[in-house]
């Protein structure tokens, strides 16, 4: 009997196993996270799990499958919630220790103001109708009037405590305290209610101390906790870019460059602020400023500082995508998250990352890519690059011909193909394969699991890929680029090539924003499933993480330095050759 998806047998029991989608699995999510996301998050690492697992407490398959049905619905709901949480950032509520710190600070401020007022005095003389302050303390009339004011405030606070409801003045102080720290709480948020009651108690405590002072007792004003020594945003960027020690994970060069541009724009708008001084108000202003800056501006405009750029009429240029703006916000949020781990905010218990203010992106916009149909692929492979040997300047020679074919038959990303060296095309045990790695100049991978060896599909060999590699090897060394014109730095060249391909694709195959070069990767994954290739194997082809710690077991580095995914090349070769595209007419068909 066929088994329901998500239901697996383990140790004579069935369990529910749901693999988290790639855009959620392993993503960092700062504490505190919503309670209902608890099942999705690894509390030790603060990252979303790669797989949701739950025992179905049955060894009967039918009973287990019935028990799995509500879990499937719940898992899909949680994925939607997780995606929303990743866009919106942490919940607006604040931790209990942060609430206590805010309330204690309110008490200290009231005591400090009392001490300053009594020390300065107002110099009131009712008999003479004069105010002659001398800064040497209170007059008798000052003291009497002040006692009445404190008694009135004490009465108001006692009434608020009795009703367990703060008044307008207390709410104003509470809002100001939150605003100074960039914290936004909705009035319906339970944290608001808890803070309101905490502020009432703090005010009662402060008034009690003030009353004791007015009877001549000595009540010291506590010292506000000092913030730890801060650092400017530019310094935090450098620390983030360095990563850490030898084994520490370091951001990719592309990410460092993008983060540098994002930070530069923030500094242009607000200055190189100390990390402690950055609030959500700063981040929102930065976000809204970026939203007014179109994409692909002419160089003369793009080089202008942000404030001057905002003064220009930019209405004729194409607006910037909200996802691009969110990416800039997330990069700076990551820099501050690194600073938090380094202890920059330890003495600021109410601190929360101010850059979690991104725009809410619709699901359709967040995952716009769709696989190509066979008809669209046939139109592409019947176009001039393939039928007439055309090599447009923008296509950079043979890259125009091979990039789409490699993506279609090995599922690689655009940048992974563009950065290949001649020596990355290897052979072991009679199997020719592509070694995707980050060992050469300007070679970068998206993540650790992206390092992999992918056997070269038989169709690519028929079309002549190995002949191309052999010809290129005769004129260049193994460390040279596989594609002429893609010498380091590669990022800009790959981006320009992609723009050319987008135009070419629109003219000759399909003009649809959901169909781009990345669609080859989606097409490959779909074809793997259609061929019956297991998820573990096609994850090994594409460099996706997969679920469970055990997926990383058995990996080894071969004697030639290439990295496998815990599956032999011979087995991977058998599997990848199962992949086919029925009714697809490849370039060699016309020979």
Could you tell me if residue 318 is inside a domain? yes
SS3 label, residue 19: strand
| Element counts in the chain: helices (H) and strands (E) | 22, 10
Based on the fold, state whether residues 308 and 262 are members of the same structural domain. yes
Distance of alpha carbon 424 from alpha carbon 409, whole angstroms: 17
What is the distance between the alpha carbons of residues 221 and 104, in angstroms, rounded to a whole number?
12
Same domain membership, residue 385 and residue 359: no
Q: How does residue 590 score in pLDDT terms, banded at 50, 70 and 90?
A: very low
| 173 shares a domain with 67 | no
Q: What is the CB-side half-sphere exposure of residue 169 using CA atoms within 13 A?
A: 7
DSSP letters of 420-486? -BGGGEEEETTEEEEEE-S-STT---SSGGG-EEEEPPHHHHHHTHHHHHHHHHHHS-TTSBSSTT-
* Mean pLDDT to the nearest integer, 178-192: 67
**Structural domain span for residue 527:** 374-548+555-590
**Residues with Cβ within 8 Å of residue 554, at least 6 apart in sequence:** 566, 567
Q: Are residues 49 and 190 in the same domain?
A: no
- Indicate whether 189 belongs to any domain: yes
Q: Give a yes or no: residue 1 inside a domain.
A: no
391 and 361 co-located in one domain:
no
| pLDDT tens, residue by residue, 326-384 | 889 999 998 998 888 887 877 776 677 889 888 776 554 555 678 999 999 999 999 99
Own/partner pairs, 345-348, CB within 8 angstroms, 24+ separation: 345/228, 345/275, 345/276, 346/228, 347/225, 347/226, 347/227, 347/228, 348/227, 348/228, 348/276
Q: Tell me if 403 is assigned to some domain.
A: yes
Question: Cα(25)–Cα(83) distance, rounded to whole angstroms?
Answer: 10
Task: Please say whether the beta carbons of 230 and 277 come within 8 A.
Answer: yes
d(CA 229, CA 233): 13
* Residue 196 lies inside a defined structural domain of this protein: yes
User: For the CA atoms of 547, 447, 356, 248, what is the dihedral angle to 10 degrees?
Assistant: 110
pLDDT band of 188, cuts 50, 70, 90: low
Write out the two tokens for 220. 């010291």
Q: Could you tell me if residue 166 is inside a domain?
A: yes
User: Are the C-beta atoms of 400 and 391 separated by less than 8 Å?
Assistant: yes
* Residue % of the chain over a pLDDT of 90: 38
Q: Is the model's pLDDT at 187 over the cut of 90?
A: no
- From the list 143, 133, 136, the residue with the least C-alpha distance to 119 is 136
The verdict on 277 and 397 lying in the same domain is: no
Residues 308 and 434 in one domain: no
What average pLDDT does the chain have? 84
358 and 407 part of one domain: no
Measured between alpha carbons, how far is residue 528 from residues 323, 367, 376, 580 in Å? 29, 20, 19, 8
> Rounded to an integer, what distance in angstroms lies between the CA atom of residue 284 and that of residue 362?
20
CA distances from 259 to 243, 268, 366, 496 (A): 13, 14, 21, 20
DSSP string for residues in 174-197: HHHHHHHTT----TTSHHHHHHHH
Residue 222 placed within a domain: no
Cβ pair 61, 7 in contact under 8 A: yes
Among 339, 366, 393, residue at a domain's last position: 366
What integer pLDDT is reported at residue 540 of this predicted model? 86
The CATH number of whichever domain residue 513 belongs to comes to 1.10.443
Two structure tokens written together for 463: 């079309």
286 & 149 share domain? no
Residue 226 lies in a domain: no
- Going by C-alpha positions, the residue among 279, 288, 31 that lies closest to residue 177 is 279
Residues 352 and 242 in one domain: yes
pLDDT at 385 over 70: yes
Q: Are 85 and 20 in contact (CB under 8 A)?
A: no
Q: Is residue 359 domain-shared with residue 398, that is, in the same domain? A: no
* Contact in structure between 270 and 311 (CB atoms under 8 Å): no
Q: What are the residues whose beta carbons fall under 8 Å from the beta carbon of 288, sequence distance 6 or more?
A: none
Provide the pLDDT for residue 591: 38
Which of 301, 333, 366 represents a domain boundary (last residue)? 366
Q: Is 304 exposed, middle or buried (0-12, 13-18, 19+ CB in 10 A)?
A: middle
**How confident is the model over 222-256, as pLDDT tens digits?**
886 654 445 788 888 888 888 764 445 677 777 88
How many domains, the chain?
4
Instruction: Identify which of 403, 278, 402 has the alpha carbon closest to the alpha carbon of residue 339.
Output: 278
| Confidence (pLDDT) at 387 | 92
239 and 323 share one domain: yes
Among 186, 214, 242, give the residue marking a domain's end: 214
- Hey, which residues does 432 pair with through a beta bridge? 427
**pLDDT, tens digit, 9 for 90 and up, residues 43-82:** 777 788 888 988 888 888 888 888 888 888 888 888 888 8
Cα–Cα distance, 548 to 474 (Å, whole number) = 44
């Amino acid at each position: 009997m066929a088994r329901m998806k998500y239901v697996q047998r383990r140790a004579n029991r069935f369990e529910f196993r749901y693999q988290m989608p790639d855009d959620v699995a392993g993503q960092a999510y700062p504490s505190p996270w919503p309670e209902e996301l608890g099942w999705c998050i690894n509390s030790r690492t603060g990252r979303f799990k790669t797989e949701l697992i739950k025992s179905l407490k049955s060894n009967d398959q039918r009973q287990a499958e019935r028990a799995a049905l509500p879990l499937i619905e719940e898992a899909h709901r949680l994925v939607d919630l997780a995606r929303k949480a990743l866009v919106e950032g942490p919940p607006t509520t604040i931790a209990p220790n942060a609430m206590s710190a805010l309330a204690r600070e309110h008490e200290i401020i009231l005591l400090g103001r009392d001490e300053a007022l009594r020390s300065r005095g107002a110099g009131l003389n009712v008999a003479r109708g004069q105010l002659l302050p001398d800064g040497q303390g209170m007059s008798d009339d000052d003291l009497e009037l002040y006692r009445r004011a404190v008694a009135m405030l004490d009465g108001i606070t006692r009434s608020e405590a009795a009703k367990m409801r703060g008044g307008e003045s207390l709410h104003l102080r509470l809002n100001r305290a939150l605003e100074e720290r960039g914290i936004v709480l909705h009035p319906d948020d339970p944290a608001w209610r808890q803070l309101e009651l905490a502020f009432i108690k703090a005010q009662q405590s402060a008034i009690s101390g003030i009353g004791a002072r007015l009877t001549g007792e000595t009540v010291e004003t506590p010292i506000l906790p000092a913030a730890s020594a801060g650092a400017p945003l530019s310094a935090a960027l450098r620390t983030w870019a360095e990563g850490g020690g030898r084994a520490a994970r370091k951001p990719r060069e592309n990410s460092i460059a993008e983060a540098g541009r994002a930070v530069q724009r923030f500094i242009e708008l607000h200055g190189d602020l100390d990390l402690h001084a950055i609030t959500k108000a700063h981040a929102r202003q930065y976000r809204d400023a970026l939203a007014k800056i179109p994409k692909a501006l002419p160089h003369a405009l793009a080089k202008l500082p942000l404030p001057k750029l905002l003064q220009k009429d930019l209405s004729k240029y194409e607006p910037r995508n909200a996802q691009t703006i969110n990416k800039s916000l997330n990069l700076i949020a990551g820099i501050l998250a690194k600073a938090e781990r380094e202890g920059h905010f330890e003495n600021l218990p109410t601190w929360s990352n101010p850059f979690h203010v991104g725009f809410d992106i619709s699901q359709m916009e967040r995952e716009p890519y769709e696989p190509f149909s066979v008809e669209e692929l046939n139109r592409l492979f019947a176009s001039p690059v393939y039928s007439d040997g055309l090599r447009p300047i923008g296509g950079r020679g043979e890259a125009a011909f091979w990039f789409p074919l490699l993506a279609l038959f090995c599922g690689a990303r655009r940048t992974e193909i563009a950065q290949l060296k001649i020596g990355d095309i290897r052979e072991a045990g009679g199997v020719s394969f592509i070694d995707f790695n980050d060992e050469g100049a300007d070679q970068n991978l998206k993540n650790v699991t992206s390092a992999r060896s992918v056997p070269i599909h038989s169709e690519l060999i028929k079309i002549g890929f190995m002949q191309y590699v052999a010809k290129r090897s005769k004129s260049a060394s193994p460390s040279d680029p596989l594609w002429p014109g893609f010498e380091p730095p590669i990022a800009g060249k790959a981006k320009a090539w992609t723009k050319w391909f987008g135009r070419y694709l629109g003219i000759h195959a399909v003009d649809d924003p959901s169909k781009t070069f990345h669609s080859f990767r989606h097409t490959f994954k779909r074809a793997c499933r259609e061929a019956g290739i297991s998820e573990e194997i096609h994850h090994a082809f594409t460099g996706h993480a997969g679920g469970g710690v055990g997926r990383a077991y058995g990996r080894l580095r071969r004697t030639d330095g290439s990295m496998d995914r815990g599956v032999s090349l011979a087995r991977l070769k058998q599997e990848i050759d199962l992949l086919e595209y029925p009714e697809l007419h490849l370039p060699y068909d016309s020979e």
